[in-house]
């Protein structure tokens, strides 16, 4: 499929509206200095450390090790490589925005591989910036784009197997496996459903003796076989990491827990996006699903009267069934990993797009117009919220800019949500310090086995008795052993706290209590402050 075919959508006007929606989603990430993605600063800072670890004489080797044999590290390695030619933060947002654009291109290519009308791709745009992107699961976001492109070539191979398409399936599957193991599992499940149904629909007239089914099974197996390389890669990584720490892959208190099925169904849009404070993202996803349902019902009613039959080639229902079953059956916590099943909501929306029946000409024009408008509205909506987020967080970025380089920082954050974005988008402010100032930061994800940049056992700071990450700012004890390892403290004060620097005593008292007079102010912008606590005693709660 030629690039010009992938990045156009029929008439010039229709092409403009589709890519305007997807482009606005990506462009919104360039409006802000901090991204509205919860875990993103942690991964960005690790990528910065990874870049420095490429140099054999880097001082970071004393505290970190670099492990490229992992299934949660492709984002870090890509950003680390790109940051050799550009600033680290620019490299990070290019990879995130590029992942979203790549996913948009994959959805369009997949629609075309199934001979579906181009406007169907726009029905996916409201789910493009998904729950996973808002939570900053950047390796999974990147892996989702790779998996979607692999699915394109699986479908093409199931219809007409060629050596280039099979090689593409294998290469993309391996890349997906190195980016995120959950996306690889989804690719295998969705790929199997799509390959089997596509092969059956493409097998032609049924010869005697059931040979049509056998022929379809062989073609589907051939299309899926290259994914075996990625599967074996994931198994090898799991075996190695399980030997390092078997307990890391279970959460005894929460393993297997999740909401009831009725709640998953009732709150589907919230679990699929649920990022914006005003819930407009959820409304747009709901409208996309409603439009899919309306078009499908109208097409079914007109079947046999206006010509096209809804079950004709171009409509796949098996991927939707698999995605929906996975969404409903998967718990919130699985194999020690939290927030699992909401990541599958985006795949349910994609499955719904692929299941849209062939639409009669009398309906196509109206459906196309509404789908393209909905996609453009979703892009504009996110871009506007990103502009608001920049206005809300500009002061936080300015505080980080004022701090000295190469130190150790933590963040004490009251009200980590903003008026524009939910889900604690300010939780990991200290990670931005690590990325921007090449220092160390508290609650670093380097303690996890699956990321490529990991602490050396002797260098990892002892974990606090009570953490203050997220909305637990009141638990911060400036004298505890963990806090003393991070003397620079970035503070996001409560909204009703004084913002005049001359009244900083109230903020000092709130954060440092009896040590309020002993800390030194480093920076102040709006409700964001930074203090140096060097010299405080190490006699607090361990």
Number of domains in the chain: 2
Q: Are residues 231 and 332 in the same domain?
A: yes
Mean pLDDT over residues 457-482, rounded? 87
Q: Are residues 351 and 296 in the same domain?
A: yes
- The reply to whether 426 falls in a domain is yes
pLDDT of 247 above 80 = no
Task: Tell me the pLDDT tens digit for each residue of 110-152.
Answer: 998 888 888 999 999 999 999 999 999 999 999 999 999 999 9
- The reply to whether 218 falls in a domain is yes
What's the pLDDT score for residue 308? 44
**347-358 as b/e, with b when 16 or more CB fall inside 10 Å?**
bbbbbbbbbbbb
- The reply to whether 22 falls in a domain is no
pLDDT of 24 above 80 = yes
Tokens of 508: 């000092």
> How far is 121 from 123, CA to CA, in rounded Å?
5
Q: Are residues 344 and 397 in the same domain?
A: no
Q: Are residues 186 and 167 in the same domain?
A: yes
Mean pLDDT over residues 215-240, rounded? 94
Using a pLDDT cut of 70, give the percent of the chain over it: 94
Q: Are residues 350 and 292 in the same domain?
A: yes
- The reply to whether 31 falls in a domain is no
Q: Are residues 328 and 189 in the same domain?
A: yes
**142-177 as b/e, with b when 16 or more CB fall inside 10 Å?**
bbbbbbbbbbbbbbbbbbeeeeebbebbbbbbbbbb
- The reply to whether 540 falls in a domain is no
- The reply to whether 349 falls in a domain is yes
What would you measure as the largest C-alpha separation in the chain, in angstroms?
89
Query: Domain range holding 265?
Result: 37-242+261-385
What's the pLDDT score for residue 66? 95
- Mark which of 385, 408, 437 sits at the end of a domain: 385
Q: Are residues 73 and 213 in the same domain?
A: yes
What's the pLDDT score for residue 222? 96
Using DSSP, state whether 276 is helix, strand or coil. Answer: strand
What's the pLDDT score for residue 8? 60
461 pLDDT tier (thresholds 50, 70, 90):
confident
Note the pTM of the prediction, 2 decimals: 0.94
Q: Are residues 126 and 268 in the same domain?
A: yes
Using a pLDDT cut of 90, give the percent of the chain over it: 75
- The reply to whether 17 falls in a domain is no
Task: Tell me the pLDDT tens digit for each residue of 414-450.
Answer: 999 999 999 999 999 999 999 999 999 999 999 988 8
Task: Tell me the pLDDT tens digit for each residue of 142-179.
Answer: 999 999 999 999 999 998 899 999 999 999 999 999 99
Task: Tell me the pLDDT tens digit for each residue of 284-338.
Answer: 999 999 999 999 998 878 765 544 444 344 689 999 999 999 999 999 998 888 8
What's the pLDDT score for residue 360? 83
First vs last C-alpha separation in the chain? 60
Q: What is the DSSP letter of 490?
A: E
- The reply to whether 286 falls in a domain is yes
What's the pLDDT score for residue 303? 65
pLDDT of 202 above 90 = no
Tokens of 71: 């299934």
pLDDT of 458 above 80 = yes
Q: Are residues 451 and 307 in the same domain?
A: no
What's the pLDDT score for residue 397? 98
Highest averaged pLDDT of the listed ranges 215-229, 244-258, 497-511: 215-229
- Mark which of 355, 385, 415 sits at the end of a domain: 385
- Mark which of 331, 350, 385 sits at the end of a domain: 385
* Higher per-residue confidence, 178 vs 10: 178
Mean pLDDT of the chain: 91
Task: Tell me the pLDDT tens digit for each residue of 496-511.
Answer: 888 887 778 899 999 9
Rounded to 5 degrees, what are φ and ψ at 463? -70, 145
Runs of H (alpha helix) within 127-250: 131-134, 138-159, 163-179, 181-201, 211-224, 228-244
C-alpha neighbours within 13 Å on the C-beta side of residue 64: 30
Mean pLDDT over residues 354-368, rounded? 89
Tokens of 397: 């970025």
Q: Are residues 396 and 377 in the same domain?
A: no
Do the Cβ atoms of 116 and 315 come closer than 8 Å? Answer: yes
Q: Are residues 166 and 293 in the same domain?
A: yes
C-alpha of 56 from chain center: 32
Q: Are residues 107 and 194 in the same domain?
A: yes
DSSP letters for 95-155? HHHHHHHHHHHHHHHHHHHTT--GGGGGGGGGGTS-HHHHTT-HHHHHHHHHHHHHHHHHH
């Amino acid at each position: 499929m030629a690039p010009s075919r992938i990045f156009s959508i029929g008439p010039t006007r229709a092409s403009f509206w589709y890519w305007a929606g997807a482009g606005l989603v990506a462009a919104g990430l360039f409006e802000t200095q901090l991204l509205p993605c919860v875990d993103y600063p942690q991964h960005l800072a690790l990528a910065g450390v990874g870049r420095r670890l490429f140099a054999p004489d880097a001082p970071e080797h004393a505290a970190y090790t670099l492990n490229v044999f992992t299934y949660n590290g492709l984002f870090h390695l890509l950003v680390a490589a790109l940051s050799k030619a550009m600033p680290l933060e620019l490299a990070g947002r290019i990879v995130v925005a590029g992942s979203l654009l790549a996913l948009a291109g994959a959805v369009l290519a997949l629609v075309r591989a199934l001979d579906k009308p181009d406007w169907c791709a726009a029905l996916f745009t409201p789910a493009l910036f998904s729950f996973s992107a808002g939570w900053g699961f950047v390796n999974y976001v990147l892996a989702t784009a790779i998996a979607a492109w692999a699915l394109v070539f699986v479908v093409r191979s199931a219809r007409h197997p060629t050596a280039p398409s099979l090689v593409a399936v294998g290469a993309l599957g391996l890349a997906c496996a190195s980016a995120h193991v959950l996306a690889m599992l989804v690719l295998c499940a969705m790929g199997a459903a799509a390959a089997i149904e596509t092969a059956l629909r493409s097998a032609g007239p049924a010869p005697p003796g059931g040979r049509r089914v056998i022929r379809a099974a062989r073609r589907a197996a051939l299309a899926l076989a290259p994914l075996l390389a990625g599967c074996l890669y994931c198994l090898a990584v799991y075996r190695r990491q399980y030997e390092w720490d078997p307990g890391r892959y279970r959460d005894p208190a929460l393993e297997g827990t999740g909401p009831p099925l009725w709640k998953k169904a009732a709150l589907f849009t919230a679990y699929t996006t649920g990022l914006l404070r005003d819930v407009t993202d959820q409304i747009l996803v709901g409208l996309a699903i409603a439009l899919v349902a309306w078009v499908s019902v109208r097409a079914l009613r007109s079947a046999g009267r206006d010509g096209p039959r809804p079950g004709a080639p171009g409509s796949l229902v098996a991927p939707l069934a698999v995605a929906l079953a996975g969404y409903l059956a998967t718990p919130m916590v699985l194999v020690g990993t939290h927030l699992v099943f909401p990541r599958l909501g985006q795949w349910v929306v994609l499955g719904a797009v692929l299941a849209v029946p062939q639409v009669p000409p009398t309906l196509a024009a109206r459906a196309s117009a509404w789908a393209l408008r909905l996609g453009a509205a979703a892009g504009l909506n996110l871009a506007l919220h990103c502009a608001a987020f920049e206005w809300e967080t500009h002061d936080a970025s300015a505080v980080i800019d004022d701090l000295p380089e190469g130190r150790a920082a933590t963040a004490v954050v009251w009200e980590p949500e903003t008026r524009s974005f939910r889900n604690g988008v300010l939780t990991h402010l200290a990670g931005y310090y690590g990325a921007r100032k090449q220092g160390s930061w508290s609650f670093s994800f380097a303690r996890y086995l699956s990321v490529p940049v990991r602490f050396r056992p002797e260098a990892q700071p002892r974990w606090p008795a009570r953490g203050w990450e997220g909305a637990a700012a009141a638990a911060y004890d400036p004298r505890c052993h963990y806090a003393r390892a991070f003397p620079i403290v970035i503070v996001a004060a409560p909204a009703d706290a004084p913002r005049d620097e001359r009244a900083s005593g109230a903020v000092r008292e709130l954060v440092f209590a009896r040590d309020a007079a002993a800390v030194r102010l480093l920076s102040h912008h709006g409700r964001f402050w930074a203090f140096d606590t060097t010299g405080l005693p190490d006699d607090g709660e361990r």
